Structures are given as C-alpha cells and as structure tokens.
Amino acid sequence: MGSSGGGGGGDSQTTVRYAGYVESQHQNFLATVMAYRNSTIALSPFASYTDIEVDSAFFGTGYLISSFPSLYDMYGKFMAGLDVESLWSQIFEGTVNSPEVSSLVVAEGALLDDDIETNSIPRLQTGMRDINAVMGSSYVIGRAIIEDARVKSIAKYSAELKYHLIPVASSRWSTHLEWNKGVVGVYAEIMKLYYSTKIDVDEINYSMVAKHRLWPFTVLDFERAALGALQGAINSKTDVAGASTASKVIGGALSGAAMGAMVGSSFNTAATTTTAASSAGTVYGAGIGAALGIAAALTY
C-alpha cells in the first residue's frame, strides 16, 4: 500500500503492505470519500452569502458618512464658534422677559384690580360718605393713594419674579453649554462606532468570500487526510549505496573481526608470548570485533 524510494549511488525501494481486510476497507473508504468529494466540491455553503451594508444600516439607503457634517464642522458650530456672551443675553432675555413672565404680571395686576374694586374702593367711599366728603378733594386723594399702591405692588411683584428667575437663566445657560459639548462628544462616538463596526463587518464579508473561494481546497484537504489514513512512522534503513540490512550486518562483522584481530595481536610481545598464545589473542580479538561490528550495523 505504500512505498518509498532512495537516491544516491544506488536505487532501493521499500513496499509496506497491510492486512488484506485493512487494505480492502481503506479502498472502500477512499471510494466513499471520493463520491462525497465529487458531490460537495461545487456546492459551497458560502456562495449565497450577501455582504452586509454598514452605510445603509447607519445612515439609510443611498447615504454615506460623507453626506453628513464632519466632526470638525460640528465642533466649530457647537463649541469653537459659540459666543457665550451672546448666548447668555439670549437665554436671559428668553427667561426673565419671556411672554410667560409678562402674563404672570398681568394676572397679578388683574387680581389687584379686582381686590381694589371689591374691597378698597367701597371702604373708601363709605368712609368719605360718613364724613360727607365724597365730592371733596379728600376722596380724589384717597383714590390716587390706592392707585399708587396698586402700581407699586405690581412693580414689586414683577421685580421679585424676575429676580428669582435669574438663577434659572444661569442654569439654562450652563445646561446649554453642556448640551453643545455633549452633542460634539456623541457625534464623535457615533463616528467612532461607525468606523469600528465597518472594520468588523468588512472583515466578516472578506472572510466569507475567502471561505467561498477556498471551499474546493477545504474539501480536498479532507480527501488528503483520507489518503494518508494508513501512513505511519515507517523508517526504512538503507545506506547510501542502497545496501540491504543483511549485507550491512555481514560487512560490519568482517570489518569488526579484522579490527579485533589487530587489537588482540597488539597485546602479544616477542619476549613473553609463544606462537600459540599469539594466535589465541588474535582469535579472541577477532570474535569480539565481529560482535561489535554486528551490533553497530543493526543500530545504525
């Protein structure tokens, strides 16, 4: 089921086979994978995705962010170009001398007139009649005194009412300044939210397009995994010349034996050894060298 080739001075090939029932099931599995691949590779689930339009969601159909004033324009209109003194005069006039205040003063005058006509004038006439001075100058003076008190009372009421409205005007002025500042801040936050949302939505749109384009490779990636389902950690030991493991063992044994014989003979001196002892050392050295050579060949 698998093979690998080696280069160098020679050619070698190793074939890995599995049990028949494993190979048969793998072939059936590959056929099933191929059938599903053929039926799904052209049916991308991302093909029907429609891009999200951020501008339409924020501003309405046909409008862009450039259709509205810039952030600097809003700041210049509500903050930098604002005349606070003119604003104070406008708010003060609209608060203290408003039509509502005038209506309150008129209503207070109407109440005083009613009280004068109902109470003050009748008592004055009764008193003047008791002293027989209805047709005299005393009666006229009395009426003038009452009228003067009426005018002063209305003026006092109007002054007190407007005086108590000055803090209201100051509060309205401060609120107006805070409102302008808040408008600029909210406008900046809206623009920030727009750009942040646009970046996120564009990333989603682009990722969906990329997934649609890469859909065939996604399907083929699963087929690639199916093809390599039986691939394991296969390690074939082959030397540069392409020699087999058996030839490497024999070669290692021969070279090790030769080296061992040389080492064994080196321990024999002409003065202390006989011919038999020298031969024994050579044989022992060759045996040990051959064993070491075989071990090295098997572990290389």
In terms of Cα–Cα distance, which of 12, 5, 3, 15 is closest to 248? 12
- Residue 11, both tokens: 């050619």
Strand spans (E) along the chain:
2-6, 12-16
From CA 263, how far away is CA 281, in angstroms rounded?
Answer: 9
Residue burial 4-36, b: 16+ Cβ < 10 Å; e: rest = eeeeeeeebeeeeeeeeeeeeebeeeeeebeee
Q: Give burial (CB, 10 Å; 0-12/13-18/19+) of 293.
A: buried
In terms of Cα–Cα distance, which of 232, 234, 216 is closest to 26? 232
The confidence score (pLDDT) of residue 232 equals 53
Q: How many C-beta atoms lie closer than 10 Å to residue 245's C-beta?
A: 13
Give the CA dihedral 139, 145, 146, 151, nearest 10 degrees: 150
pLDDT per residue rounded down to tens, the chain (300 residues): 554 454 455 578 888 888 888 889 999 999 999 999 999 999 999 999 999 888 888 888 888 888 888 888 888 888 887 888 888 999 999 999 889 899 999 999 899 888 888 888 788 777 777 677 667 677 778 788 888 888 899 999 999 999 999 999 999 999 999 998 999 999 999 999 999 999 999 999 999 999 999 999 999 999 999 988 887 534 444 444 444 444 444 444 445 444 444 444 544 544 444 444 444 444 444 454 444 444 444 444
Residues paired with residue 12 on neighbouring β-strands, in sequence order: 6
The confidence score (pLDDT) of residue 8 equals 52
Every domain of the chain and the residues it spans: 68-205, 245-299
In terms of Cα–Cα distance, which of 85, 95, 87, 84 is closest to 167? 95
Is residue 296 within 8 Å of 252, Cβ to Cβ? Answer: yes
From CA 21, how far away is CA 230, in angstroms rounded?
Answer: 13
Is residue 127 within 8 Å of 143, Cβ to Cβ? Answer: no
Residues paired with residue 226 on neighbouring β-strands, in sequence order: none
Angle (CA) 288-292-298 rounded to 5° is: 150
